[in-house]
Amino acid sequence: MQQQDMIKKIGDGNGFIAALDQSGGSTPKALLGYGIEESAYSNDDEMFALIHKMRSRIISSPAFSGDKVIGAILFEKTMDGTVDGKPTPTALIDKGVVPFIKIDKGLEDEANGVQMMKPMPELDMLLTRAKALGVFGTKERSVIQSANREGIAAVVAQQFEIGRQVISHGMMPIIEPEVNIKSETRAECDQILLEEILKNLDAMPEGRQVMLKLSLPVKPGLFDPLVDHPKVLRVVALSGGYKRPEACAELAKNRGVIASFSRALLEDLRAQMSDDEFNASLAGAIDEIFKGSTQKSVVAA
């Protein structure tokens, strides 16, 4: 796929984006969910080798193809690894799946009701390397815990600043200011976030685009103005802690929003499964998330 093919697939394609980007802090939990205890590895290298083996098994599965999975977000070590003897981004592209990379280095401590991204001093080098490997875009995550406008404005401003740096490398940023779905002021967070994103979109030069990865809103359809915005290539949703059936049901209520699920995609997969069991379980998850992404239950007002 050439760059324009990737833009078209991500912008218009039927399907969803798989989030295979668990990093050092979340990898032990992901492995435990996959049926691998912490006693199975003794250092980070062994831990990352096991999670790469899991991701390779997913990407290699016949269930995982560009027919329903239009993109995949990778952790840096996964990008640098191989799948079936090919660099991971190449293996994805060969299956019709557009590769992205997670670029944030984790979160700062909470202040003003939000967690900003930690500094990324080596980002330019990472972007240059990722672009050379055929990676189309990036993903960077912040977290909003409560409805503090000053904090939310700062999170969104930082996200768009990093987004501009990504665009300067000829890549597509996925801006992810996640709202904690357990927040007591979640609906207010959603509304403030919408307003701040629109301000930053309107300030972008004409002809530039970003993607948005957002928590599913309390009010279905709240993010319609973002779905329709000419400077937004696609709006995708994270599962945010919902189990897959609930995440897909909430997703289906939001026109034009597709999934970018991690836990909700992987929750039934186990290392101990036979290949047939693994492929069948993955196919079922992909079908359910594909349906939530493409078959909407939106009721006209």
Active-site residue list: 176, 213
Contact 240, 216 (CB under 8 A): yes
102 touches 142 (CB < 8 A): no
H or E stretch at 193: helix 186-203
- The string over 99-133, giving b where at least 16 C-beta atoms fall within 10 Å of a residue's C-beta and e elsewhere, is bbbbbbbebeeeebbbbbbeeeeebeebbeebbeb
Q: Judge contact between 120 and 105, C-beta under 8 A.
A: yes
CA distances from 151 to 104, 145, 176, 194 (A): 18, 10, 15, 14
